[in-house]
Amino acid sequence: MIENLVKKSAVWLNGKGPHAEVVLSSRVRLARNLVEYPFVHRAKVEQLRKIGTAVKNSLQKVDYLKKANILPLHSLHPLDRHLLVERHLVSYDLIKHTKERVLVLSEDEKLTVIVNEEDHLRLQTFASGLDLSDAYRLIDRVDSDLESELDYAFSDQFGYLTACPTNVGTGMRASVLLHLPALVLTKEINKFLRAVSQLGISVRGLYGEGTEVKGNFFQVSNQVTLGKREEDILAELEKIVKDIIGYETGARETLLKDARAFVEDKIFRAYGIIKNARILTSDEVINLFSAVRLGIGLGMIESVDVGTLNELLIFTQPAHLQRLFGKEMRPDERDIARANYVRERIL
């Protein structure tokens, strides 16, 4: 099954969603627990197994998940676990402790169910560009179907009960992955980070919580779930993201007006490197793609589209690259293979 992931790209990477020039993807996540079992950190191994069995049995009664792939994480090769992280399907924390943890992946890769991470179930959906509504419609439907089969832990006073108090209520986290190179280049990014944090929005790196910012990609998400309706959380986050898009667009216009030669040089230098380099590291290629992506957004580069760059951002990472070439490689071998692969896709 893992081999199939490197044969195709996820639908949400296609670069065809709203505001795709700035927003790579939207994600909605729901945390749920079963009422008859303790939270994961308090549960015994046998209880975790029973949770896994209950979830697997319920999948067969949910139309959207009948053909889903079920991946027990402990049975996967370490390389494949890292591939799932690179694919944004699981977190780094999840692959550190894999016992009784399971990933359920829908056939179209738009929805996952993670069993026995921090909560008994964590559902998440993805959509291309800024499209939280599309992501929510799917996850809400699947969650309702699962809830008809599973007895969720729910309080009339507090809402859905979760292992982390900050998730209590709707149990929902919505996030958007933004590319903000102009705000970084104009040194406005710290002002933006301070402003959004005051609005109850958290900002993380490319791979979520605990990861660093790479390639000028920032993941923004809501922090509060208690006392709010799901629709209100999504509407508030979408408004903030649209404001951020406006600031980024303004910063791009400022760069073109005040530093056009600098911007053009940065973009076309990066484009020249990815078309001609014979060695590329994973961190280097993320930064080069960032500059080229900016060039696409500014209309300077038309021979490559955002969807292709989205795919390359994932497929040039170490685990994907090794699975693509069908063998494990040393870092120096990966750097050569990465450059070859990028040239093949770009030229």
Binding residues for ATP: 25-29, 88, 122, 173-177, 204-209
Laid out side by side, the sheet with 69-72 consists of: 69-72, 102-105, 111-115, 121-128, 23-32, 172-179, 217-222, 201-204
Q: Compute, in degrees rounded to 10, the torsion defined by CA atoms 114, 237, 217, 306.
A: 90
Instruction: Quote helix, strand, coil % in the chain, to nearest 5.
Output: 50, 15, 35
Which residues fall in the annotated binding site? 25-29, 88, 122, 173-177, 204-209
Q: Residue 188 is encoded by which pair of tokens? A: 């406005």
What is residue 239's three-state secondary structure?
helix
CA distances from 164 to 118, 123, 124, 159, 304 (A): 8, 16, 17, 13, 43
CA–CA distance, 294 with 22 (Å, rounded to integer): 9
- Conformational region of residue 211, where left means phi above 0, alpha means psi within -120 to 50, and beta covers everything else: beta
DSSP structural state of residue 152: B
Whole-angstrom distance between the N-terminal and C-terminal Cα of the chain? 30
CA distances from 337 to 86, 243, 321 (A): 17, 40, 8
CA–CA distance, 221 with 104 (Å, rounded to integer): 23
